[in-house]
Amino acid sequence: MEGGGQTRRQETRGPDLAGPDLAANVVPVVMAGGFGTRLWPLSTPDRPKQFLTEFQGRSLFQQATERALRLAPAERVLVMTSASLASQARAQAPDVPAENLIPEPLRRDTGPAVILAALVAAGRWPGAVMAVFPSDHFIGSEEAFVETVAAAVARAVEGGLGTIGIPPTSPATGFGYLELGADAEPLATQPVAAFVEKPDRARAEAYLAGGRHLWNSGIFVWRPEVLLEAARRHLPDTVAALEGVANHVGRDTFAAEARAAFERIAADSVDYGIMEKAEDVWCVPAAFEWDDVGGWEAAARLLPADDAGNRAYGNVVLEGTDGCIVLGEEDRPVAVAGMADCIIIQGPAGTLVCPRAEADRIKPLVQRILDGRQA
């Protein structure tokens, strides 16, 4: 089942990435192991954001997989997920071969996942370029997405570790930023001067005005061998532990081998563990619209608004209500009367009610609930 899959079954849905050489070269890696709970009570650790189908009929993961299938045939798409989420990932990406869906046995952040994917890609498709995509973000234009990735793939062939940066549209304080040496232009590759931590409001406003700082999208493009070389330098123990695991992917032996390896390695993100320490890191400023769907305001933008400015999904009954974001479940209606500008979400895990203007209260509130569960 491993190796040499580069041209296998190319009669399945083919890529339309510009240029035949590029198309034959790309290994899309969809990262679907996240446990985010910022959309609680709709999302939970067991039902994370990327698998929710409430907003557009297709989940963000399904959309990410469909974009991956525009870059490469299904036989060359890898899906990294956690063991507990593997069945959801498989159900939502039936075109991806079972041996391409890699369940991480323990949570170790994105670093080990990306290294394992690179080991698999290097073994199966020598000479390919790997493109890593989070599956819990919204991307607006698929054409512009393909165009952006194509630019990054072309650059990755030459070497270095690539990122895709998002030109900011607001002074967001919730993202890390990529600092460039000169003004960012969509599709114009530049070296990354620095990775910048989440800024305060004043700095975020300066970044927005300055034009040299981009949101870090978590999309990475590189040749697997280049990533592995950097990883061997900065996370040598992780690479050593995972080298033996890659050959077991898709086999019955994988679960036990992977667990033994993951138990020995530390959690590290790609950004902190590798990218911030590596040399020759470059960035392609994105040409596409992007949203991390990091809270209810962003999620609601994916829903249509009614005449009173409400954005509702599911079994919802509104009376004299304006500007609210309301979600109900099929068997359990949500009835709202006389409310304005509130977030009212009923999900499998419970119910959340908060004014839209005070949405920053939600995260600590939900944390209290999740902590209480663990206690």
Residues forming the site for a copy of itself (CB under 8 A):
40-41, 315, 317, 319-320, 328-329, 332-339, 342, 344, 346, 348-355, 357-358, 361-362, 364-366, 368-369, 372
180 or 362: CB nearest a copy of itself: 362
Residue 306 CB, shortest distance to a copy of itself, in Å, is 16
Bond from prior residue into 73 cis (ω within 30 degrees of 0): no
Contact 287, 41 (CB under 8 A): no
238 or 310: CB nearest a copy of itself: 310
64 or 324: CB nearest a copy of itself: 324
Q: Compute the CA torsion angle 89, 267, 236, 194 (nearest 10 deg).
A: 100
Residue 47 CB, shortest distance to a copy of itself, in Å, is 14
Residue 321 CB, shortest distance to a copy of itself, in Å, is 9
Q: Which residues pair with 163 in a beta bridge?
A: 220, 283
Give 169: exposed, middle or buried? Use CB within 10 Å, 0-12, 13-18, 19+. Answer: exposed
8 or 361: CB nearest a copy of itself: 361
Compute the C-alpha angle 217/218/220, nearest 5°: 110
For residues 286 and 97, give the distance between their C-alpha atoms in angstroms, rounded to a whole number. 29
Give 54: exposed, middle or buried? Use CB within 10 Å, 0-12, 13-18, 19+. Answer: middle
30 or 366: CB nearest a copy of itself: 366
Residue 171 CB, shortest distance to a copy of itself, in Å, is 23
Residue 100 CB, shortest distance to a copy of itself, in Å, is 36
